[in-house]
Structure 1
Amino acid sequence: MNFSMEVIMSHMWTFQRVGGLDQVVFKNAQDIINLPNLDPKLWVALSCPTTGLDFDKRTLTLLDEDQDGRIRIPDILDAISWTRSKILSFETILNASDVLPLSQIDTTTEDGQKLLVTANSILTSLNKSGYDYLTQEDVQKSIKINSGKLYNGDLIFPPSNELSSDMQTFIKSAIKTVGAEKDMSGEEGINLAIAMTFVKNLQTWKQWQTDIRNTQTPFGENSSEIWNLVQTLKPKIDDYFLRVELAQYAPQAQTALNVDEKYIVPTENGLLSDEALAELPLSKIDTHNFLDLVNGLNPLWKTKITRFKSIVSPLLTNPNQLTEEEWQHIQSSLDAYSSLINSSPKMEKLEVTIQPTASIEELSTSTINNIIKKDLFSQFQEIVEQDNKTPISASDVLILEKLVLFHKHLYRLLVNFTSFSDFFSLEKRAAFQLGKLYIDGRCATLCVSVDNIAKHSTMSGYSELCLLYCECTRKGEKKLIAAAITAGQGDLLIEGRNGVFIDNDGNDWDANVVKIITKPISIQQAIWAPYQRIGRLITEQINKWATSKDADIEKTGTQVLQNPETKFDIGKSVGIFAAIGLAIGAIGTALATIFQALFSLSWWQLPLVIIGLFLVISGPSVILAWLKLRHRTLGPLLEASGWAINGQVKINLLLGGLLTSKAELPKNAKRNLRDPMRKRRNKFAIVFWIALVLGIGITGGWLWHKGHIKHFIEQHKQELIQKTSDTEKQ
């Protein structure tokens, strides 16, 4: 497209910076009217699929005129131009009203006046004569009522029982050989163009057949039959004469040219199969240069040869024998006839919705003659003219339906295609948001349609969104969705988990997670992730250590039972205990050093140490998560679903928190902290244990501070080292 800068500057556009993009704002009708002058690079979307959207399906069908399953910028501009030519003011489009005021129909044109008459006729047929507006429901009711009538103004006629049997045969034959269209009721029928093409093809076929019959041959009225017989017998007769020539050339090969014994062995029922007989020679091979038409014939071909003999006998010197020269003469006498048959006329074809399933030659001669003789085409023209005079024309009703739908849905399409204002609104939902997924105490509202998970996940991974691919089932139906999780933790989001998907119509589907694309979900998750990893690591190491020790104990016990005389190695045991003592001593020394360092700090320095440790541990994880969360975009997710997006359409932390909500108690709710399932303890016992722990802690801290515990550990450490040394010497 070429855009003139002067034309672009003639209209004052308003843009809103949202999601990292400059998105056009529709403030008045002129903004919509001037959309053809807006650079396509400033549209958020360039194209979208007609499926997988929360949008009126009929409107999408009408927009997709070429039926390629996609909506593009030209389709939208054409819809704007078409709608503008049918109504007086474009301001009503901004209201996305469910009703089309009749006063808005532009009656300055002949088509507009006709539409107004049709609208009033529809209201009258629905007992709404006093109404001055039309709704989508009114139009659909009218279509439904008229679709059941033979004369409904759509100019398409199925083979209805209301028609004569001859007319039904005419329509059925036309559908078979030319094709069909769908009428208002969805049945297959023909229009005037199909009927006209059908009759032309019949006349062409009949003239061709007449020319064939008028072609002179030596066989008169049997020309057609003998021609078919010659085509059938030609391979076998030619094969016979070739074998005869070979037998004359090499008499010693005569036996091989005849039937081998292995081919004439009967099957279990005592008979040869037709397939086996068909492969055998037509007759016994001899050196005689003729074919005996009576004796020694292959049983499978005998009937055809007998009929062939009865027709061609006047041309034979010996009526019971066929020479090769006579065979060539019979074929040449049919050359003109064959040439005409092989030059089959080309039948006219139409572009139709329902393709033909048969050819003219499959119709019986009586059917063709009856259609032409009774001039059924003229009768069909008469019923088409009568249908054209119907007060409520189907074509006009369809135009009204299109106008009502565009008047109602065009604005919503624009704010979900030209811009994504519905998506960034806190009160509305975008056309690609199919519903809500409830799982793991959360509700995800960014749920999009998926056709192929493997293909979709390849592209959607670039969105940096944590995605759950779910298979949703309901009453035998299945659908695939991808839900973006943008808040909370991700520990319990695993494949196989179940949730509930509520579509925008309020239907609940059982959702099962079949695949996960793991990405950072929130800053909260990033803060606690290092501690969770450390906890999992410690747990795994403890499990490994406990498992190995359990295996060692089991092995040692087995050895003792198998060899009860095994002596206890006191030296080895002392060494083990000494090693354990050294380890405890080392740990104690480390703890002493830590506590000594802490107690050497001032009271105000302790919080700073804790904050520093927190930053060291959680800082890197938070920074990495923050960088990735800043790169979350909607574009790749929609691209994977078939959209073509101009920019990234960023999802910031605020929007991410709104797209996924976590479980929260109502503001006026009360929380009872007493859990009836927990074991109740004596209050005095709880106070005693708390006091005991505090006392031990204070005493221990004071002893650490004075150095008594450190001195005790060092003393016992030296004793253990001495004992270990003495034991090793012994």
Structure 2
Amino acid sequence: MSHMWTFQRVGGLDQVVFKNADDIINLPNLDPKLWVALSCPTTGLDFDKRTLALLDEDQDGRIRIPDILDAIAWTRGKIYSFETILHSSDILPLSQINTETEQGKKLFITARSILVNLNKSDCDYLTQDDVQQSIKINAGKLYNGDLIFPASAELSPEMQTFIKSAIKIVGAEKDMSGENGINIDIAKTFVQNLQIWQQWQKDISNTQTPFGENSAEIWNLVQTLKPKIDDYFLRVELAQYAPQAQTALNVDEKYIVPTENGLLSDEALAELPLSKIDTHNSLDLVNGLNPLWKAKITQFKTLVSPLLANSNVLTEEEWQNIQTSLDPYASLINSKPSMVQTKVSVQPTDSIEDLSNKTIKNMANSDLLAQFQEMVDQDNKTPISASDVLVLEKLVLFHKHLYRLLVNFTSFSDFFSLEKRAAFQLGKLYIDGRCATLCVSVDNIAKHITMSNYSELCLLYCECTRQGEKKVIAAAITAGQGDLLIEGRNGVFIDNEGNDWDANVVKIITKPISIQQAVWAPYQRIGRLITEQINKWATSKDADIEKTGTQVLQNPDTKFDIGKSVGIFAAIGLAIGAIGTALATIFQALFSLSWWQLPLVIIGLFVIISGPSVILAWLKLRHRTLGPLLEASGWAINGQVKINLLLGGLLTSKAELPKNAKRNLRDPMRKRRNKFAIVFWIALVLGIGITGGWLWHKGHIKHFIEQQKQEFIQKTTDTEKQ
């Protein structure tokens, strides 16, 4: 609480300013309610992907406040000062590594070893590229310090088999090279499971049954034959109970008729009874057997004959006794031991039952585990340990990217600065003579619209394609007009890496874009309304003329109604007179004004027409916010983050000629007119205007309009009387 924070009011929010290292160190003490963002996704961002993966330790696809605080605490224990982090430098000076701790000393030695291996022994700093090259070089080595061994050809055949079997039965971890391998925990778990399985098999083999060493074989046969033998004795009991049903209990003739190819179906035969059903409570093990079961019955007869009174016949009582004698063996078989599990990133694909007894015996009793332990010990002594290299990579990345993450999470200073771009701004959309820079990633358009609609931003949802790839973005249009922004229009999206994508507008959220649009919107609506009405009138008149012409052609004797026509012309005359009167009144009022009052009237009319549209647009433009747009993309924002008119005008730029450009107004495609004709028409219009003004001033025009009006009224009256 004693730390002195600095806040700046931007976008309607108080946003923290990072002025020095102490601001970052004390960030755990800042109230989370004062952070601009509470969480963000790890995808759809213009940010280093590897850094985001390291921050997302629980791999849930999100970065939250605790993840950032953990990164700060972790980094603080590895370097001396946070001042260098404020510069987002690409290099990590070795002098910044805290060598006062054992891990720090080890990291310093590892960093030096990396530079020596890369022939950069004279450098006193480390870069991300240096670490990546070291990882790539070490990945191809068997002993690379990651304590994980794949089934490399450098190992003995026995060790390769051991590792491959362990991967199949227990699972695997990814080696530095990306291959599947095992560590000491997996190796120990594998051997332990082999020993458990081996002991269980030994207990089974020691179980006493009347069949001795043939217990396993007879057990498997009994499990296979049990459904068929039980079915046979059940049918015999039914035949004894109901002798008249004996025929139905046997094989129906239709089931043994050959198919079209002259062969019998094995599947159909397998479902038939084991032998012919009669009332004798015994099974003949030699004669009358179902052909598909005869081989197994013969094998069964050979194994159980010592227990049978007649070696060729099996009674139901003898069948039950055989099963009872195998109960101890069955009990042990059913008590299969559970295998020991260990944490792995790659799940096993096989079961230990898939290994032969010989393989299990060889690997469980050999010294392969001891040899693997020696390999691990040797790998642990590698000068450049993989674990230390990964720690160095994390330190270099946090040193470079942690500050940018803070100014795109704790505050949005990158977004409100006019020289940088925020992490959620993916590129620029060029369309309709404009460039939109607020382009965010979209996973599901329908779901995104539900939330982004509250941002009061005009949004274009575009499908972007490039070389077989596809992505969807939402671009905010915050300047210009929206008349030509329609679904289906094409544009070009340039991502932050300079790649160009073909963009097609698939959905639009229509909202006010600018004050300029609001000013001209009423006149555009009036123009569209007049155009529509003229089109309707012209269409209806064209239809009437066609209808009348058709009637005349069909009925040539139709007489012309002079009275009706005169009435129509009289009505038209009245309409023209009314319009003339209205125009006369307007012109009379205008000419009665002083010269300085006329501009005020024009301005007043402009305000009356455009004023409501401008006010409504201004109110809506004041409510444009970034929060709902980012929330729709998976962020959790603490406030609305308003986008004012100034920022809106900067987020979307319109086409403008360069300052030093020249404009040639002579259009070669435009028809040229004679200069004398232009002068003549201008003089004619001026003459008519001056003459009309003088006549109006003298009252002649008004008198003429009144006279014409009275004549039209008189003609209409006479026509009605006639």
Q: Structure 2: which amino acid aligns with 1:673?
A: L
What is the alpha-carbon distance in structure 2 between the residues aligned to residue 563 and residue 170 of structure 1? Answer: 105
- For 2:252, the equivalent position in structure 1 comes to 260
SS at match of 1:509: strand
- 1:309–1:320 Cα contact (<8 Å) kept: yes
Give 1:633's match in structure 2, choosing from 612, 620, 625.
625
**Cα deviations across residues 606-641 of structure 1 (Å, max 9, x unaligned)?**
122111111111111111111111111110000000
Q: Which moved more, 1:310-319 or 1:95-104?
A: 310-319
Which SS does the other structure have where 2:668 is aligned? coil
Match of 2:130 in 1: 138
Distance 2:234 2:605 in 1: 103
Structure 2: which amino acid aligns with 1:210?
K
One of 580, 584, 597 as aligned partner of 2:589:
597
> Could you say what secondary structure the match of 2:471 adopts?
strand
- 2:78 is matched with 86
Size of the aligned set, in residue pairs, is: 722
Which residue in 2 is equivalent to 1:699? 691
Secondary structure of 1:649 counterpart: coil
Q: Find the counterpart in structure 2 of residue 578 from structure 1.
A: 570
Partner of 1:269: 261
SS in 1 for 2:502: strand
Within the alignment, does 1:202 sit opposite 2:200 as a pair? no
Provide the rounded CA distance (Å) in 1 between the counterparts of 2:609 and 2:250.
96
CA contact (8 A) 1:54 1:432 kept: yes
Q: How does 1:433-444 map to 2 (within 5 A)?
A: 433-444=425-436
1:569 Cα shift? 2.3
The 3-state SS of whatever aligns with 1:36 is: helix
CA distance in structure 2 between the partners assigned to 1:401 and 1:375 by the alignment? 37
Indicate which of 320, 325, 343 corresponds to 1:351. 343
Equivalent in the alignment of 2:296: 304
SS at match of 1:93: helix
**Match of residue 438, structure 2, among 434, 440, 446:** 446
In the TM superposition, residue 565 of structure 1 has moved relative to its aligned partner by: 2.9
Q: Counterpart of 1:30?
A: 22
CA distance in 1, matches of 2:552, 2:355: 97
State how far apart, in whole Å, the 1-side matches of 2:698 and 2:238 are. Answer: 126
1:111 paired residue number: 103
Residue of structure 2 in register with 1:155 after alignment: 147
Q: Which runs of 5 or more structure 1 residues have no equivalent in the other structure?
A: 1-7
Question: What does 1:304-703 correspond to in 2, within 5 Å?
Answer: 304-703=296-695
Distance apart, 1:530 and its partner CA: 0.7
Q: How far 1:262 moved relative to its partner?
A: 3.7
What is the alpha-carbon distance in structure 2 between the residues aligned to residue 657 and residue 321 of structure 1? 99
1:122 aligned to which of 114, 124, 139: 114
| TM value normalised by structure 2 | 0.98
Contact 1:50 1:71 in 2 (8 A): yes
By how many angstroms is 1:561 displaced? Answer: 2.5
In structure 2, relative to structure 1, the CA distance for the partners of 1:705 and 1:292 (3 Å cut) is: farther
2:9 alignment partner in structure 1: 17
Alpha-carbon distance in 2 for matches of 1:708, 1:369: 126
Q: Residues 592 and 704 of structure 1 are in contact (CA less than 8 Å); yes or no, is this contact kept in structure 2?
A: no
1:35 is aligned with what amino acid? L
The alpha-carbon deviation at position 67 of structure 1 amounts to: 0.5
Partner SS state of residue 470, structure 1: strand
Distance of 2:681 and 2:556 partners within structure 1: 47
SS in 2 for 1:431: coil
Contact 1:432–1:448 (8 Å) recurs in 2: yes
* C-alpha distance after superposition, 1:399-421 (max 9, x if no partner): 00000000000000000000111
Match of 1:68 among 55, 60, 65: 60
Q: Distance in 2 between matches of 1:458 and 1:155?
A: 49
Matched residue SS, 1:134: strand
Structure 1 stretch 209-218 or stretch 45-54: which is displaced more? 209-218
- Inter-CA distance 720–265: structure 2 relative to 1 (3 Å threshold): farther
List per-residue Cα deviations over 1:99-118 (Å, max 9, x = no partner): 00001111111111110110
The separation in 2 between residues aligned to 1:203 and 1:695, in whole angstroms, is 116
* RMSD over equivalenced CA pairs, Å: 1.3
Whole-angstrom distance in 2 between the partners of 1:21 and 1:180:
49
Conservation of the 8 A alpha-carbon contact between 1:59 and 1:406: yes
Partner residue, 2:225: 233
1:5 counterpart residue number: none
Shift of 1:503: 0.5
* 2:192 is the counterpart of 1:215: no
Q: In structure 2, what is the Cα distance between the partners aligned to 1:170 and 1:613?
A: 91
CA deviations over 1:485-518 (Å, ceiling 9, x no partner): 1000011111011111111001111111110001
How far residue 389 of structure 1 moved from its aligned partner, in angstroms, is 1.6
Distance 1:658 1:228 in 2: 80
Shift, 1:690, TM fit: 1.1
Worse overlay, 628-637 or 595-604: 595-604
Alpha-carbon deviation of 1:377? 1.6
Displacement after TM superposition at 1:93 (Å)? 0.9
Match of 2:720 in 1: 728
Three-state SS of the structure 2 residue aligned to 1:697 is helix
Question: Do the aligned partners of 1:468 and 1:515 also contact (CA within 8 Å) in 2?
Answer: yes
Once the two structures are TM-superposed, the CA of residue 679 in structure 1 deviates from its matched residue by 0.9
Q: Secondary structure at the match of 2:47?
A: coil
Match of 1:3 in 2: none
Query: What is the rounded CA distance, in whole Å, between the counterparts of 1:385 and 1:43 in structure 2?
Result: 47
Of 158, 176, 196 in structure 2, the residue corresponding to residue 184 of structure 1 is: 176
SS at 1:482's partner residue? Answer: strand
CA distance in 1, matches of 2:294, 2:554: 94
Aligned mate of 1:46, from 20, 23, 38 = 38
Measured in 1, the distance between the counterparts of 2:360 and 2:118 equals 44
Q: Do 1:157 and 1:189's aligned partners in 2 also have CA atoms closer than 8 Å?
A: yes
Query: Bigger shift: 113-122 or 301-310?
Result: 301-310
Give the Å deviation of 1:388. 1.4
- The CA deviation at 1:373 is 4.3
> Hey, what's the Cα distance between the residues in 2 that align with 1:365 and 1:24?
68
Cα distance in structure 2, aligned partners of 1:250 and 1:156: 71
Shift of 1:364: 2.1
* Distance across 1 between alignment mates of 2:699 and 2:163: 110
Residue 249 (str. 1) matches residue 253 (str. 2): no
1:74 positional shift: 0.5
Q: CA deviation at 1:272?
A: 3.2
Distance in 2 separating the partners of 1:178 and 1:541: 79
> Could you tell me whether the CA contact under 8 Å between 1:97 and 1:407 is conserved in 2?
yes
Q: 1:458 and 1:41 mapped to 2: Cα distance?
A: 25
Give the AA of the match of 1:648: Q
Displacement of 1:519 after TM fit?
Answer: 0.6
Cα shift readout 1:184-225 (whole Å, capped 9, x = no counterpart): 111111111111111111111111111111111111222111
